[in-house]
Amino acid sequence: MVKTTAVKRGNKPADSPSGTGNDRSRQKRKNTDKRQSKSIGESGKLKIIPLGGLDGIGKNMTVFEYEEDIILVDAGLMFPDDDHPGVDLILPDYTYVLENADRLRAIIITHGHEDHTGSLPYLLKDLDRDVPILGTKLTLGLIEGKLAEHRITRQRFREITPGSHVSITSFGFDFFSVNHSIPAAVGVFIRTPGGNVLHTGDFKLDQTPIDGVMTDFAAVSRFAKIGVDLMLSDSTNATNPTFTRSESEVGKALRQIISAAPRRVIVASFSSHIHRIQQICDAAVASGRKVAVTGRSMLTNSKIARELGYLKIDDNDIIDAYSAKDIPPEKVVILCTGSQGEPLSALARMANGEHRTVSIEEGDVVIISATPVPGNEKAVTRVVNALSKIGATIYDKQRALVHVSGHAGAEELKLMIALAQPKNFVPVHGEALHLRAHAQLAQQVGIEKKNIFILDNGDCLLLDEHGATRGEPVQNGIVYVDGLSVGDVSAVILKDRQTLANEGIVTIVSMISKRDSALVGRPEIIMRGVSAGDDPELLADAIATAEKVIVSFSREHRNNPNSLKKALREGISALLWERCRRRPMIIPIIMDV
C-alpha cells in the first residue's frame, strides 16, 4: 500500500497545483505524533473536524474534540477511479488523530459499510495502541473480520444497541436506529459541555423495511426537545427531489425475474448489503433454487451475517459455488461480488471466462443489483458488454427495479431536519453538489443561512453556548493505498503513471568514452507505447537526433550527464511531438565506457 497526503495547514497553500505535498511514510507519521503540538482548540468549545467524506462518497471520518478528549466517528475509505492508476484504496489523511493519539478515547462506527469502516485497519496500525471501538453487533462482526485479514487481533470492542446511552469522559452518546441498506445502522446524539450534536449517519426513511427496523422518529423528536445545537446529516441523495423507494420493492422485482428465468441466475451486489442478500435468498428459495455464494467478501460477510442472525436462510438452501455445477441450471442462483466492475471480482472473472467454478453460458440471467459508484461506470459497462457477447440476459436498475438507494431523498432530508430542529447545520457525506443541495434544503425548512456551514475536509467548526463559528483548519488530504506499503505515492508518481498509460515511454541509451568524452557507436532507442503510425523513419530519425545532440555538446559539457540528459529529453520530445503529437516519458541513460 502506498500513502500520499494532500496537505492543508491553516491557510497555507500546498506546493503542487493539485494540492498535494508533504508525502510522508508511516514511520515519519509516528515520529510526528510524538513531537507535534497536542491541540489547536479553544477551552470550553466543542471542535468538529471532518477529515473525510466532504469531497466525495466515501472515506467518512469526523473528529469530535472537547478539552483533552477526542472521539472519532467512522473511519472509512474510498475506491479509486481512472484518475488513480495502480491505486488500490484511498483513505483520509488522519495525521491529526495520530498527532493527538494519547487523547483519543474511542472510535464509534455508525454501520458496517466500507466507506465507514475501511480505513480502520490502517489507522489502528499507525496508532499502535488499543482504542475502544463502539458499534452494533453486526458492525463489530464485520470489523472483526476485516481486522483479521490484516492480522490485527488486539482490540477492545464495545457493543452498543439502539436506544442505549454510553458515557466516555466528557462525552455522552445516545444511539438510535436509522434505516439504511445494511442492518444495525445507527445515528448518534452527542452530548458535551460545549453543545449537543446530532449525527444522522447514513439513513433513509423506509416505512416497509426488510427487517422491520425503521428510523427512530421518536428518538429524534426527543433530542429536539433536549436541544440540537448542531446537526450533521447525510447528503448523498440531496439532489433526488422526492423520497427514496423502499427496499422491499426490490424484492418483488427479484422474485419475478428469478422465477421466470429459464436457466441459471447470477446476481451481483455489494457484499455488505445484507438486506439485498436476504431478498435474493428469499427469491431463490421461493423459486425452488439453491443459492451458491462466490467472491471473497461475499463469502465472508454472508457467513458473518448468518452467524449473527442477520441473514436467514436454511443450511440446505445455501451451497458452495463448487457444487453449483452439479445442479441443473434452472435450480440455482449464484450470489457474487462484482457489481462495480472490479477487474478481480467474481462477476468480472465470469465475464472473462476466468472464474474457477462458474462459466456463464448463453441464456443465463445476470442481475446487477447496485448503482455504479461515480468513477466505476466504465468498468461496469465493460463487464456488461462482455456478458452480452456471451449471450447472457442482463438486468440492471435501468431495465428493472433491481436496486434502490439506501440514502434519503430531498423530502426525507427536509423531514429529518424539521424533526431535529437544529440551531446549526452541516451537510456531510457527499460531493460538493450534494452538500450545497442539502444546504439549500435546510434553508427551505427554516435554518438561517448564517447557521449553515458547508465545510471542507480539514476544516474546524467550534461550538459553544454562543453558537457555531469556524476555527483553524488542520492538515487534511488523502492517503493512497497501493500494494503492500502505505505512504509513498505522490501526485508526481500518479502523473508519471498516467503519462506511461497515455503517452508511452522512450529510453535512450548512449555510451560516452571516459578517455576523450566521444560518443561510442550510435545511441540505441527503445520505444514502448509510442506508435509510429505511417512514419517508418521515426525511429531512425530519433536515433539521428540523439546522435546530433550528443555530438553538438562540447567535450566539457559531455562530462555533465545531467545537462546532456536534459538536452536529449528536449530534442527527442520536440521530434516526437512534431511527428506524432505525443509527449511520452523520455528516459536518457548515459553509460561511461
Cα–Cα dist 77/86, whole Å: 16
Tell me if 4 is assigned to some domain.
no
Residues 59 and 94 in one domain: yes
Under 8 Å CB-to-CB from 588, ≥6 apart: which residues?
A: 508, 510, 564, 565, 568, 569
- What is the pLDDT confidence band of residue 93, given thresholds at 50, 70 and 90? very high
CATH number of 351's domain: 3.40.50.10710
pLDDT tens-digit series, residues 227-271: 999 999 999 999 999 999 999 999 999 999 999 999 999 999 999
How much is the pLDDT for 37? 39
User: Angle, nearest 10°, between helix axes 410-420 and 217-226?
Assistant: 40
Place of cell 557507436: 521
Single residue among 348, 365, 395 that ends a domain in this structure: 395
Residue pair 549/568 in contact by the 8 Å Cβ criterion: yes
Q: What are phi and psi of 343, to 5 degrees?
A: -60, -35
Mean pLDDT of 322-348: 91
> Which is more confident, 433 or 519?
433
Residues 171 and 45 in one domain: yes
Kindly report the pTM of this predicted structure. Answer: 0.80
Among 62-76, 145-159, 489-503, the range of highest mean pLDDT = 62-76
Residues 483 and 533 in one domain: no
Residues 104 and 230 in one domain: yes
Tell me if 104 is assigned to some domain.
yes
Q: What is the DSSP string of 559-570?
A: T-HHHHHHHHHH
Tell me if 166 is assigned to some domain.
yes
Query: Rg (Cα) of the chain, in Å, rounded?
Result: 28
Place of cell 461506470: 377
Range of the domain at 264: 248-395
Residues 159 and 74 in one domain: yes
Strand, coil or helix: what is 281?
Answer: helix
Tell me if 533 is assigned to some domain.
yes
Among 152-161, 211-220, 574-583, the range of highest mean pLDDT = 211-220
Residue 448 has pLDDT above 90, yes or no: yes
Structural domains counted in the chain: 3
CATH number of 537's domain: 3.10.20.580
* Percentage of the chain lying above the pLDDT 90 cut: 62
Tell me if 8 is assigned to some domain.
no
Residue 103 has pLDDT above 80, yes or no: yes
Q: Do the strands 485-486 and 478-482 form a parallel or antiparallel pair, or are they unpaired?
A: antiparallel
Residues 372 and 409 in one domain: no
Sequence length of the chain is 593
Residues 431 and 379 in one domain: no
Nearest of 213, 272, 189, 204 to residue 238 by alpha carbon:
204
> Which is more confident, 210 or 31?
210
Residue pair 77/114 in contact by the 8 Å Cβ criterion: yes
Single residue among 456, 491, 526 that ends a domain in this structure: 491
Tell me if 306 is assigned to some domain.
yes
Residues 78 and 172 in one domain: yes
How much is the pLDDT for 268? 96
Under 8 Å CB-to-CB from 436, ≥6 apart: which residues?
A: 427, 454
How much is the pLDDT for 557? 61
Tell me if 573 is assigned to some domain.
yes
Single residue among 491, 512, 533 that ends a domain in this structure: 491
Residues 162 and 290 in one domain: no
Residue pair 366/266 in contact by the 8 Å Cβ criterion: yes
Tell me if 215 is assigned to some domain.
yes
Cα–Cα dist 33/290, whole Å: 53
Residues 424 and 509 in one domain: no
Cα–Cα dist 39/464, whole Å: 17
Residue 19 has pLDDT above 60, yes or no: no
How much is the pLDDT for 149? 86
Residues 369 and 458 in one domain: no
Residues 164 and 293 in one domain: no
